[in-house]
């Protein structure tokens, strides 16, 4: 089964915008993960399945410790690594995670069954736009942290529903927004197959940057992390 997920290394994971030696220092110097979650991380590395890097993990651990979220929503489960990491950091939180890839869902279910000891994590299968619309119907259930790590071109499309689902003091985090620096390249100089992704990201930036409705911050962690908070 594992062979199904073998792939070449994701170039975005190996082309950090921050100096490589600083990335290496961040990954080596900050507290390392321990326990069962390391088994999930090892599997991801061995099979070249992208998961959030260590510097992003430690940032999430700090943010969760400060915010003490009651509910967390994740768009893009993959094999369940980040959901399990957040569950470990917020042992009393309810975590809902969404994915539509059958292969990733199968692996995530295995990992959640093994390692979600408190049964905190609810895996929703299906297209994120559809699942977000369904979740939005429950007006009494809001999320303190919404983490998006899925199709980057869709972030702008997911944003309205995410905002409706966000608690009053909640934050939205969107991963991999630097695209190894391609956000600085003129759109017509980017490979045709990547242009839809880049256009989606640039629409997102046009919507949230310098918009008085939002407070935003871009963090140079991994391949770029965008934070959005409503004023």
Domain boundaries defined on the chain: 2-230
Residue range 2-230 forms a domain whose CATH class is alpha beta
pLDDT of residue 86: 98
Residue labelled with tokens 């042992």: 91
Average the pLDDT over 161-187 and give the result: 94
Average the pLDDT over 156-178 and give the result: 97
pLDDT of residue 5: 47
Dist CA 79 CA 103 (whole Å): 9
Residue labelled with tokens 């429950």: 138
Q: What is the pLDDT of residues 31-76, one digit of tens each?
A: 899 999 999 999 999 999 999 999 999 999 999 999 999 999 999 9
> Is pLDDT of 199 > 80?
yes
pLDDT range class, residue 16, cuts 50, 70, 90: low
> Is pLDDT of 8 > 70?
no
A 10 A CB-CB count for 27 gives 14
Asked whether 89 and 31 are in contact (CB, 8 A), the reply is no
> Is pLDDT of 78 > 50?
yes
> Is pLDDT of 212 > 70?
yes
Dist CA 230 CA 208 (whole Å): 10
Residue 127 is assigned to a ligand binding site: yes
Dist CA 231 CA 227 (whole Å): 13
pLDDT of residue 180: 87
pLDDT of residue 161: 96
> Is pLDDT of 125 > 90?
yes
pLDDT of residue 13: 47
pTM: 0.91
Residue 128 is assigned to a ligand binding site: yes
The region that residue 37 occupies, defined by phi over 0 for left and psi between -120 and 50 for alpha, beta otherwise, is: alpha
Mean pLDDT value across the chain = 92
Q: Among 28-32, 85-89, 105-109, whose mean pLDDT is lowest?
A: 28-32
Residue 217 is assigned to a ligand binding site: no
Residue 149 is assigned to a ligand binding site: yes
Dist CA 95 CA 122 (whole Å): 6
Dist CA 110 CA 121 (whole Å): 13
pLDDT of residue 174: 98
Residue 82 is assigned to a ligand binding site: yes
For a pLDDT cut of 90, what percent of the chain falls above it? 86
> Is pLDDT of 1 > 50?
no
- The token duo for 55 is 């510097």
- The token duo for 195 is 């242009």
Residue 210 is assigned to a ligand binding site: no
């Amino acid at each position: 089964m594992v062979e199904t997920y073998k792939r070449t290394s994701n170039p975005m994971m190996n082309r950090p915008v921050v100096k490589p030696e600083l990335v290496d220092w961040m990954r080596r110097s900050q507290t390392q993960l321990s326990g069962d979650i390391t088994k999930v991380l090892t599997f991801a590395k061995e099979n070249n399945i992208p998961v959030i890097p260590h510097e992003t993990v430690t940032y999430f651990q700090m943010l969760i410790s400060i915010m003490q979220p009651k509910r967390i929503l994740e768009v893009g489960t993959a094999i369940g690594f980040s959901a399990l990491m957040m569950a470990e950091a917020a042992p009393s939180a309810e975590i809902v995670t969404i994915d539509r890839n059958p292969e990733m869902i199968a692996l995530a279910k295995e990992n959640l069954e093994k390692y979600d000891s408190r049964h905190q994590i609810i895996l929703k299968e299906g297209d994120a736009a559809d699942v977000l619309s369904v979740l939005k119907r429950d007006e009494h259930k809001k999320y303190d942290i919404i983490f998006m790590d899925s199709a980057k071109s869709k972030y702008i499309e997911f944003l309205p529903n995410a905002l409706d689902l966000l608690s009053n003091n909640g934050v939205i985090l969107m991963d991999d927004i630097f695209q190894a620096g391609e956000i600085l390249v003129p759109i017509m100089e980017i490979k045709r197959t990547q242009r839809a992704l880049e256009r989606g990201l640039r629409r997102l930036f046009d919507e949230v940057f310098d918009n008085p409705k939002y407070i935003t911050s871009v963090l140079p962690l991994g391949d770029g992390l965008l934070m959005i908070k409503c004023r």
